[in-house]
Chain A
Amino acid sequence: MSNIALALEGNIAVLGYGLAAIGPGVGVGLIFAAVINGTARQPEAQSRLQSIAWIGFGVTEVLAIIGIALAFVFR
């Protein structure tokens, strides 16, 4: 019917990156969910909560970033 080749081509490392991004995705979501909860309970603590959250966000997202770096390394 069409002349588009339907063969799946590519690198399994990209699939691995997709798996590696699940954990950090959940983790970053949890961090900011906690910040929203905390801010709703105690609005004046927002700036303190946010400064802690950004550090935690950086540490958590590193996992996804290491994943994308390794996906390029092992292609």
Chain B
Amino acid sequence: MIAGVSTEFIPPGPEDFNLPPIWASIPWLTKPVLVATLSVIIIVWFFWGASRKSAIVPSKLQFAGELGYNFVRNSIARDAIGSQEHMKYVPYLCGLFFFILLNNVAASVPLIQFPTFSHIGWAYAAAVMSWLIFNTVGIRKHGFGGYLKLQTMPAGVPAWLMPLMIPIEFISNILVRPVSLSLRLFANMFAGHILILVFVLGGEYMLFETGNIALGGVGVITFLVAIPIAGLELFVQCIQAYIFVVLTAQYIGSAIADEH
């Protein structure tokens, strides 16, 4: 124990997400804004490059682009929306999937290491966009009253249960969906980032600040545990992008579904 070392351990918290602007003169240009802009540029470059010279024998870039596009089209859009109407929504779903994926995976890229969607405003924007789209296509297909009936009156429920079912279904299908979409993405990114911060900062504190050999050993273990945690986070980041887009596709599919 070294006398004089008495720096208190400050656990990471929500304050760690308030990053300063990159240049002090441009207050709105923070890291999430920069990462999101970069991700858009990368996506545009990637898909533009992949589809620019379409050939029967694809180049490597075209092959990679088709792989990503086919994944969204076949296993997300077609399964959820149905083979007749899914093509209309594939551009949005594909763009959304790769935007969320790149911004999430940026949290695992060295030197960036910040998930854009751990700022809840980004998640709100993505979820509100999806909410507007699935409500709009539903209203366009069934009319306002018909759409409300489809979403709030499940088939096969006896009439005397309707006063109970309609508010529940309205809340769960119209009001809670955007909230749950955005909060799921936000909470996963936020919690994952904090988890890594806890392990790395805690390990650093025990290793260097306490000056205690035994705690230093624990600190080394903590550092080592942070590596599989980061791997787990990479998995969670990909899964969350997938879930967000799958649920958006499901909501679109249920909004344009025929009554049965």
Contacts and interface: CB of A to CB of B under 8 A. Distances in A.
A54 B246 CA distance: 8
Contacts of B183: 65, 68-69
B208 interface: no
Interface string B149-190: 000000000000000000000001000110110011001000
Contacts of A69: 179, 183
Contact of B172 (A3, A59, A68): A59
Interface in B66-124: 79-80
Given A47-B79, A54-B247, A2 B184 contact: no
A67 B49 CA distance: 44
Contacts, number: 48
Interface in B229-260: 243, 246-247, 250, 253-254
Interface residues of B, number: 25
Contacts of B212: 1-2
Contact of A4 (B215, B247, B253): B215
A19 B179 CA distance: 21
B5 A55 contact: no
Contacts of B243: 54, 57
A61 B79 contact: no
B250 A2 contact: no
